[in-house]
Chains A and B, each alone.
Chain A
């Protein structure tokens, strides 16, 4: 076939294919961008222009409903707002942090390892977690007779510095000879949770590579008494700075024995 002939049989294809596809596009645009928003907007008491702008995404909100208004005041469980700058700073230990840390020595030990096991070890803890707790003490989201006063005396920069300082400190050595043989059901709680009670695995947030909230603290190398006391506090609603009541709902389902055993597990087991 000659090229001219080929062009001749191709012409109607080109023209009609373009017409059909552009028509379908035009139909969808007229419906989706004009007719539907105008009709829906009328029912929602919106003028046509606003409804179209909302449909296209230039104005916020749906073209089909009024923007909800509420007088309710939000009462967040914590006032912490994460930003990339903040998180970056928490990874950088500075001499200023060591200075602020002098205020912590009495209870948390010279190197961030508490002599009294009722108090938490801070050395090697996640900086993000320490920051969150100090911030919560400062704002009153978490209550403690001593810590609230201390945190209120710190400014935002000092909280960052001291959190970064402890995060960079070497954590407590564990003596392998003190590790107790752990019950199977406790290991299962740690690794798999208990679906029958709606309990997620502890390690789904607190383990390595966990995908949980970033402010989740490390539990390994922590003091047994401190861990147990916190779980009891969450269970009795005495501590309530956990977002979405995550820890309160978990702790509420634990028995006394499980709390003791779990605290012991994280305090003594080397592999976590």
Chain B
């Protein structure tokens, strides 16, 4: 096994181990919120669990998945060994150390502040330091991805960077921009406050800095799924990518419009003015562009595959697709969930409509559907696609993989649709239990139970997923083909690509312009105006 593959395998196992633990906690949380009596339920236990669930799913699963998949893409698309493999292992070690530190503080009951960094509540400083280490580990990954691309361009002047690698580097560049906000918040505000060096904290500033990170981080998680849509799904379906240029544009648009938009998480906050909220709302609306480009391009690519397989008529090509292949099946399901999740997202980003759903279960349901649904189901598909090339083995039948994807899809729909509805009914988020004796709240009960049932299906799927991965390592697995084609060719393979679509210099300048316009004054105001500060509230120790 090559170095990059060992790295990939190590990263992905950490990612999915965290995922499996978090899935168990998630089901218990849904149980706790339901009218059915849940075991071990105290408010302290609930918030400990939600913090662990959020950190595992949103930081550990994603970061390790993105890094592991990135190393895989770099090695397989560039056809060169990975630069500085020792540094890559250092990044991995930092990630593990950080994760263990955060986990220890959470399970010791010293971090019940959830996975969002919203002061004045602060947890143990070691919780934050652990998460900073995970981010530092990911910065090493970002550097390695950029170096790998630059090396390739130096050795192959004029040759376009393969789309999957271009997208991976877009993600790395975006992540470097993204983490500036949260890093500033943690290093200058939250960690000093958690240590007790600061007694007061400017909550408006920290919320603004966190919003800088808060939307782009979602695209950091999402981009592996989009890489699979563009480069792996058309190949798995037996077709070709409709347009390589559309792919490049999509990832560039994600880089540009994921960053100056975070203030749509602050629509209800008083510390920012309406004009800047409007500005960031307009940019948020443009995020729909890369998504719609993708829906179009991938549908067109799938149509090519369907017609090559003999599909006829307007819709006959859909039936002709090889739905028995996990990558194709997952892509179909991901797109289905994307329609609902994307539609919900348009409501969230609308300045006016947001007021209706703000801080309700709608929001939690939305990000479970779009991230847990669309994105994570593609993580599964990616794992199923690349694992045979990591272990050299694969199970004789794909039946369990298909079953697992179906369970995930059904579970996610059953869990999140009633959850959205409850949000519209006004069910608030971030609370441990509901007073079902209240006649208004009593009506929520049956819907929460339905959501809980969805959660149980999801847990079954999560466990089956881990079992499926273990199958690749077992003796009874059959030998996999040595170099299976993973990435799709484009209908018109790119042979000359303008520098703008082959690198990020121009786009970094434009991101800088937009960030100054969108966040310049909104952050500067905290230093210009004498902003009120809140007294830090440490929810650790004491007693």
Asked whether, in the complex, the Cβ of A24 is within 8 Å of the Cβ of B535, the reply is no
Determine, out of B41-49, B210-218, B337-345, the stretch whose residues face the partner at the interface.
B41-49
* Interface status of A62 (Cβ within 8 A of chain B): yes
Asked whether, in the complex, the Cβ of A32 is within 8 Å of the Cβ of B279, the reply is yes
Asked whether, in the complex, the Cβ of A17 is within 8 Å of the Cβ of B506, the reply is yes
Known: A192-B41, A201-B42, A209-B109. A63 touches B540 (CB 8 A): no
Partner of A6, one of B110, B121, B276, B499: B499
**Which residues from chain A contact B434 at a C-beta distance below 8 Å?**
195
Partner of B500, one of A13, A52, A55, A62: A13
Asked whether, in the complex, the Cβ of A56 is within 8 Å of the Cβ of B513, the reply is no
Partner of B110, one of A56, A193, A209: A209
Nearest-Cβ distance from residue A141 to partner chain B, whole angstroms: 20
* Interface status of A72 (Cβ within 8 A of chain B): no
Asked whether, in the complex, the Cβ of B272 is within 8 Å of the Cβ of A25, the reply is no
Nearest-Cβ distance from residue B304 to partner chain A, whole angstroms: 27
**Which residues from chain B contact A209 at a C-beta distance below 8 Å?**
44, 109-110, 112, 539-543
Nearest-Cβ distance from residue A142 to partner chain B, whole angstroms: 22
Asked whether, in the complex, the Cβ of A32 is within 8 Å of the Cβ of B278, the reply is yes
Asked whether, in the complex, the Cβ of A214 is within 8 Å of the Cβ of B535, the reply is yes
Q: State the total of A-B contacts with C-beta under 8 angstroms.
A: 135
Q: In the docked arrangement, what's the CA distance between A29 and B507, Å?
A: 21
Partner of B274, one of A28, A62, A193: A62
Q: In the docked arrangement, what's the CA distance between A84 and B201, Å?
A: 10
**Which residues from chain B contact A192 at a C-beta distance below 8 Å?**
41-43, 433
Known: A10-B499, A57-B272, A209-B112. A196 touches B437 (CB 8 A): yes
* Interface status of A140 (Cβ within 8 A of chain B): no
Asked whether, in the complex, the Cβ of A24 is within 8 Å of the Cβ of B286, the reply is yes
**Which residues from chain A contact B496 at a C-beta distance below 8 Å?**
1, 6, 9
Nearest-Cβ distance from residue B122 to partner chain A, whole angstroms: 10
Partner of B437, one of A191, A197, A203: A197
Q: In the docked arrangement, what's the CA distance between A204 and B437, Å?
A: 20
Number of interface residues of A (CB under 8 A): 52
Asked whether, in the complex, the Cβ of A57 is within 8 Å of the Cβ of B521, the reply is yes
Closest partner residue, chain B, to A62 (CB atom): B274
Asked whether, in the complex, the Cβ of B433 is within 8 Å of the Cβ of A195, the reply is yes
Within 8 A of B (CB), among A1-21: 1, 6-7, 9-10, 12-14, 17-18, 21
**Which residues from chain A contact B537 at a C-beta distance below 8 Å?**
211, 214
**Which residues from chain A contact B112 at a C-beta distance below 8 Å?**
209, 211
Asked whether, in the complex, the Cβ of A21 is within 8 Å of the Cβ of B510, the reply is yes
* Interface status of A103 (Cβ within 8 A of chain B): no
Asked whether, in the complex, the Cβ of B273 is within 8 Å of the Cβ of A57, the reply is yes
**Which residues from chain B contact A37 at a C-beta distance below 8 Å?**
274-275
**Which residues from chain A contact B85 at a C-beta distance below 8 Å?**
none
Asked whether, in the complex, the Cβ of B438 is within 8 Å of the Cβ of A198, the reply is yes
**Which residues from chain A contact B540 at a C-beta distance below 8 Å?**
209
Q: In the docked arrangement, what's the CA distance between A10 and B503, Å?
A: 11
Known: A32-B275, A56-B521, A84-B200. A22 touches B500 (CB 8 A): no
Number of interface residues of B (CB under 8 A): 49
* Interface status of A147 (Cβ within 8 A of chain B): no
Within 8 A of B (CB), among A164-214: 191-193, 195-198, 200-201, 203-204, 207-211, 214
Asked whether, in the complex, the Cβ of B282 is within 8 Å of the Cβ of A57, the reply is no
Asked whether, in the complex, the Cβ of A28 is within 8 Å of the Cβ of B278, the reply is yes
Asked whether, in the complex, the Cβ of A198 is within 8 Å of the Cβ of B535, the reply is no
Asked whether, in the complex, the Cβ of A191 is within 8 Å of the Cβ of B42, the reply is yes
**Which residues from chain B contact A7 at a C-beta distance below 8 Å?**
499
**Which residues from chain B contact A200 at a C-beta distance below 8 Å?**
43
Nearest-Cβ distance from residue A19 to partner chain B, whole angstroms: 11
* Interface status of B170 (Cβ within 8 A of chain A): no
* Interface status of A226 (Cβ within 8 A of chain B): no
Asked whether, in the complex, the Cβ of A21 is within 8 Å of the Cβ of B539, the reply is no
Partner of B282, one of A18, A32, A204: A32
Partner of B278, one of A31, A201, A214: A31
Asked whether, in the complex, the Cβ of B110 is within 8 Å of the Cβ of A57, the reply is no
Q: In the docked arrangement, what's the CA distance between A83 and B436, Å?
A: 39
- Please, what's the 1-or-0 string for B8-43, where 1 marks a CB less than 8 Å from any CB in chain A? 000000000000000000000000000000000111
Q: In the docked arrangement, what's the CA distance between A9 and B158, Å?
A: 12
Asked whether, in the complex, the Cβ of B282 is within 8 Å of the Cβ of A24, the reply is yes
Nearest-Cβ distance from residue A148 to partner chain B, whole angstroms: 28
Asked whether, in the complex, the Cβ of B279 is within 8 Å of the Cβ of A28, the reply is yes
* Interface status of B116 (Cβ within 8 A of chain A): no
**Which residues from chain A contact B278 at a C-beta distance below 8 Å?**
28, 31-32, 36, 55
Within 8 A of B (CB), among A38-90: 52, 54-57, 62-64, 82-84, 87-88
- Residue among B41, B110, B283, B500 with the most chain A CB within 10 A? B500
Q: In the docked arrangement, what's the CA distance between A37 and B156, Å?
A: 53
Known: A25-B517, A211-B537. A55 touches B200 (CB 8 A): no
Partner of B513, one of A9, A22, A83, A211: A22
- Please, what's the 1-or-0 string for B224-257, where 1 marks a CB less than 8 Å from any CB in chain A? 0000000000000000000000000000000010
Partner of A29, one of B43, B274, B517: B517
Closest partner residue, chain A, to B498 (CB atom): A10
Q: In the docked arrangement, what's the CA distance between A25 and B511, Å?
A: 12
Nearest-Cβ distance from residue A197 to partner chain B, whole angstroms: 7
Within 8 A of B (CB), among A195-237: 195-198, 200-201, 203-204, 207-211, 214
| 6 pairs of residues in contact across A and B, judged by CB atoms under 8 Å | A17-B500, A17-B510, A21-B513, A32-B279, A209-B543, A211-B537
